[in-house]
Amino acid sequence: MHILVTGGAGFIGRHVVAGLFARDHAVRVLDSFRPDVHQGARPIDGAEVFSGDVRDRAVLDRALDGIDAVIHLAAKVGLGVDIGDLPDYAATNDLGTAELLAAMARKGVGRLTLASSMVVYGEGEAQCPEHGAVRPAPRRAEAMAAGAFEPTCPHCGRTLGTTLVGETTAFDPRNAYATSKVAQEFYASNWARVTGGSVAAMRYHNVYGPGMPKDTPYAGVAAIFLSALRRGEAPSVFEDGGQRRDFVHVRDVAAATILACERHTTGVRAFNVGSGTPRTVGDMAVALARAVDGPVPVVTGRFRLGDVRHITADSSRLVAELGWRPAVAFDDGMVEMSRAVG
């Protein structure tokens, strides 16, 4: 196939492009090379590259010429620095996706693989010993300041147990990025309903690995920890370090994305993309510190409103329907990332 990858010069995008070439696809990249995301524009060997904004209709029409399928990765990521980031998330992610979908309709391109995120679930679902499966109540700043980080039952206030989150879990976006990802999924569903196109919405969990952005306000937690360790500093772990996540290696994410592009051809379907093995943020900090023989992480008790406490994936749908399985073990991935540069 001839595939357009938006955001193909980014962290996940470069791994997707490499994987597409390995499977003999022709690849075109559209990327804005935003300076707050890209630390210099590096070449992408073998790909036809369009430098431009996904909101530019003229650029989109040229980039979509002769394309069979689109992998849409271009987005402003992270939780946001402050409320002033809201317009940029809406303009970049919401409007950008809407313009892309409109251009795909104009050009007759009917297959979309969309980079969504586990953040659409918020805190997901949890188990109360009295009320069973419940949606966790929003965490309150005063409780977190007192060191009470665990979500509580909205009915009785008890501490909740964690569960794996499946794709049928209701949306509960709790920050600007999450809301923009929900919007992207809805826009894509609207497009598919009208055009008859297919959408695979890939709900990535916590992606890490070589090439991860660093030293920006939107860097992932693994990159932030590693940057501190390379400066000889102890990683600063928020809350008590007990936040549960599903850390999944970027090559596994790229492989899942490519399989979805190749194999999902009808209707709209969401797929969680996670390793299947929950870890804590503290686990990751310790693993990276051990890998570089660095200082022991420091648990700070600091917190950010809008962060979720626990979110871990049930990726069985992806395994059953697309034949994907993660290949990179957590400890091996941490060692590899600790040795990677940039």
Active-site residue set: 177
Nearest to 309 by CA among 121, 156, 94: 121
Give 146's DSSP letter.
Answer: T
Residue 49 token pair:
């590259």
Residue 53 token pair:
């904004």
In the chain, at which residue ranges do the beta strands (DSSP E only) sit? 2-6, 26-31, 48-51, 69-72, 111-117, 126-128, 132-134, 161-162, 198-204, 206-208, 236-237, 244-245, 247-249, 268-273, 279-280, 298-299
Token pair 């970049």 is found at: 92
In the three-class reduction of DSSP (H, G, I as helix; E, B as strand; rest coil), residue 139 is classed as coil
Are 202 and 113 in contact by the 8 Å Cβ rule? The answer is yes
What CA–CA distance (Å, rounded) separates 123 from 310?
6
320 half-sphere exposure, CB direction, 13 A CA radius: 6
**C-alpha torsion sign, points 36, 41, 43, 47:** positive
Q: Which residues pair with 114 in a beta bridge?
A: 72, 201
Surface-to-core class of residue 52, CB atoms within 10 Å of its CB (0-12 exposed, 13-18 middle, 19+ buried): middle
Backbone angles phi, psi at 173, to 5 degrees: -65, 135
What CA–CA distance (Å, rounded) separates 275 from 271?
13
Are 72 and 114 in contact by the 8 Å Cβ rule? The answer is yes
Strands 69-72, 111-117: parallel, antiparallel or unpaired by DSSP?
parallel
